[in-house]
Amino acid sequence: MLFILVLFLKKKPKVADWTIPWVLLVVGVAGGIVVVGNLVQGILQGVLVTGVTVLSHQLIKQSVN
């Protein structure tokens, strides 16, 4: 879901590139808290899933270009 959000936000001209990781982090942490149900574990899971999303986007972007 976060990867789809990245693709959506990249298409919006009014969204600055530097804000995209922050939006992903907030959405990832909120989703992690909801899924896990524990605040600390939810935050950790959100940070990890956001990192994997940003890393995978960059790997795809760097491999294609």
Q: What confidence score (pLDDT) does residue 4 get?
A: 93
Q: What is the mean pLDDT of each run of 10 residues along the chain (65 residues)?
A: 90 92 95 94 96 92 89
- Domain spans, the chain: 2-64
Q: What confidence score (pLDDT) does residue 39 get?
A: 95
Helix count (H) and strand count (E) of the chain?
A: 3, 0
Whether 6 and 20 have beta carbons less than 8 Å apart is answered as yes
